[in-house]
Structure 1
Amino acid sequence: MAELNTKNGLRYYSLSHRWGHGMPEWPSTPGINVGVKKFHAKDGVYVNEFEGIMHRGTHMDAPIHVTGNTPTITGYPLSSFFGTGVAVSIPKGKWEVITAKDLEDVRPKIQRGDIVMINTGMHKKMADTDEYFAYSPGLYADGAQWLVDKGVKMVGVDVQANDHPMATKLVDHGLGPTHPHLIEEYKEYTGRDVKEDFPNWESAHKILMVDGGIPAIENVGGELDLVTGHRCTFMAFPWRWPEGDGCGVRIMAVIDPDQKFRIPTGA
């Protein structure tokens, strides 16, 4: 449950999934492995060692992840990670797309300069399953372009990636198809071809991060339901890693039920 700061009435919520050994991982190269190197009964200290790529769990990509000669994880302005915004409910099921119209119609309304957290309901299903990673809903080009045109500051989605799974290497994009059976399954399920509906590889990644300069967080979760439908203060904490193509990120949402708290100007 959310913590309550009794001094000023602010309520703090974590919007990140657990990170660590055995966590559900996107179906690609080997991910996070954690081992205990020292422990108290033997060594008098406790030390873990981990190896793995950064694109696991609740994490943030950098533009360099999808386009050469673009900024790394420290290329975003620090101001991008803190501010007012909304957590919005856009319920979606198998292979549905988060559209520009969905984003336009949400309440509370998305405003210019907002941080936006999108709740499709999928974070409750995060697991080592095809349902979460292969059959998820997601953003694609028109939704991402709407967010850029709106001038939002940062975006988070509670699904497997910033892009719909049919815009990834799971099917015939980039290094794929790694999951070729999905091509025929999609056609049987929708009556359409994957490449007709999703002609470009990871359009949402490129539109948001490369074209728009907007940090985009994947696998948002935790206490997202408790802040959905509310205007909040959000903050995210990526690593200070100048060469980073992405990293795990801790997200917090803060709500003042009395709407009285303000950050002093320092004047």
Structure 2
Amino acid sequence: MSLQIYNLSQPWGHHMPEWPSTPGINVHVKKFHAKDGVYMTEFEGIMHRGTHMDAPLHVTENTPCLMGYPLWRFFGTGVAVSIPKKKWEVITAEDLENARPKIREGDIVMINTGMHTKMADTDEYYAYSPGIYRDGAQWLVDKKVKMVGYDVQANDHPMATKLVDHGLGPTHPHLIEEYKEYFGRDPKEDFPDWEAGHKTLMVKGSIPGIENVGGDLNKVTGKRCTFMAFPWRWQGGEGCAIRVLAVIDPDQTFRFEKG
């Protein structure tokens, strides 16, 4: 028996690509070997950067923080599915229903749109990304999945975020006119509510949502795997950088014993 372990997280650190909002991760060297005999760094920034998990508290007041998720949600069997998407396309309930391997009740689900290979400090990745919205998120809630990860910029389509006329936005008002020209509709016609994907999945469904999945995702796509992704034990935490791992047993003989 030889288990194969795959990393599904994007690199994290100074100068990493970041969602276009608050200045993010800055790493400062506080001690170094030539001077101090030890090496120590300090970082400042918000947790919603790179591969990370959100809590309901991130999007809705008086809802659970990271500690509100039971541990069983962070470990288990699931699938990595290929749902290729282009600029501003939506991950739909139909896409999820037709995905293969079939998504089963209780699965952890990793969605590969192809965008993780394009992660960079660019409009292509952040402003023009595909994404999920309410209907797709509701399908996942109805399926009673354990946890969901996406290889895109957020748990929501960019037209459901403050990049356009939602919440504190628009921070990128030019996208409204570009969307109108591209589809012939105002983005609020297609995405009337602010971060409905987040709120449906996490607040209504109590399901952790992982943003910016990447790394070896292509190597496990189309396979049934064991997944794990654990946030910090942080009371009051609204989000947390995480390491996502997928484990495959090529012989299909390894099993956890009952006990």
Could you state the TM-score of these two structures normalised by the residue count of structure 1? 0.96
One-letter identity of the residue aligned with 1:201 = W
Please say if 1:132 is aligned against 2:125. yes
Please say if 1:207 is aligned against 2:200. yes
CA distance in structure 1 between the partners assigned to 2:256 and 2:4 by the alignment: 15
CA distance in structure 2 between the partners assigned to 1:169 and 1:106 by the alignment: 30
Please say if 1:239 is aligned against 2:232. yes
- Residue 24 of structure 1 aligns with which residue? 17
Question: Displacement, 1:165?
Answer: 0.2
CA distance in structure 1 between the partners assigned to 2:236 and 2:187 by the alignment: 34
- Residue 53 of structure 1 aligns with which residue? 46
Counterparts of 1:89-168 in structure 2 under 5 Å? 89-168=82-161
CA distance in structure 2 between the partners assigned to 1:75 and 1:39 by the alignment: 38
One-letter identity of the residue aligned with 2:240 = C
Deviations 1:14-66 (A, max 9, x none): 00001000000000011100011101011000000000001000000000000
Question: Displacement, 1:264?
Answer: 1.8
CA distance in structure 1 between the partners assigned to 2:230 and 2:36 by the alignment: 32
Question: Displacement, 1:243?
Answer: 1.0
> Residue 245 of structure 2 is aligned with which of 216, 230, 252?
252
CA distance in structure 1 between the partners assigned to 2:127 and 2:53 by the alignment: 20
Please say if 1:88 is aligned against 2:90. no
CA distance in structure 2 between the partners assigned to 1:216 and 1:76 by the alignment: 11
One-letter identity of the residue aligned with 2:81 = V
CA distance in structure 2 between the partners assigned to 1:139 and 1:132 by the alignment: 15
Deviations 1:180-220 (A, max 9, x none): 00000001011111010000000000000000000000000
> Residue 218 of structure 1 is aligned with which of 199, 211, 222?
211
Point out where structure 1 has 5 or more consecutive residues left out of the alignment.
1-7
Counterparts of 1:173-184 in structure 2 under 5 Å? 173-184=166-177
Point out where structure 2 has 5 or more consecutive residues left out of the alignment.
none
One-letter identity of the residue aligned with 2:116 = H
Identity %: 79
Q: Secondary structure of 2:163's partner?
A: coil
CA distance in structure 2 between the partners assigned to 1:228 and 1:234 by the alignment: 12
Deviations 1:138-195 (A, max 9, x none): 0001000000001100000000000000000000000000000000000101111101
Q: Secondary structure of 2:78's partner?
A: strand
Matched residues, number: 259
CA distance in structure 2 between the partners assigned to 1:23 and 1:264 by the alignment: 41
CA distance in structure 1 between the partners assigned to 2:153 and 2:28 by the alignment: 25
One-letter identity of the residue aligned with 2:228 = M
CA distance in structure 2 between the partners assigned to 1:237 and 1:154 by the alignment: 11
Could you state the TM-score of these two structures normalised by the residue count of structure 2? 0.99
Deviations 1:207-249 (A, max 9, x none): 0000000000000000000000000000002111011010101
CA distance in structure 2 between the partners assigned to 1:140 and 1:243 by the alignment: 26
Two-structure CA RMSD over aligned residues (Å): 0.5
Please say if 1:66 is aligned against 2:59. yes
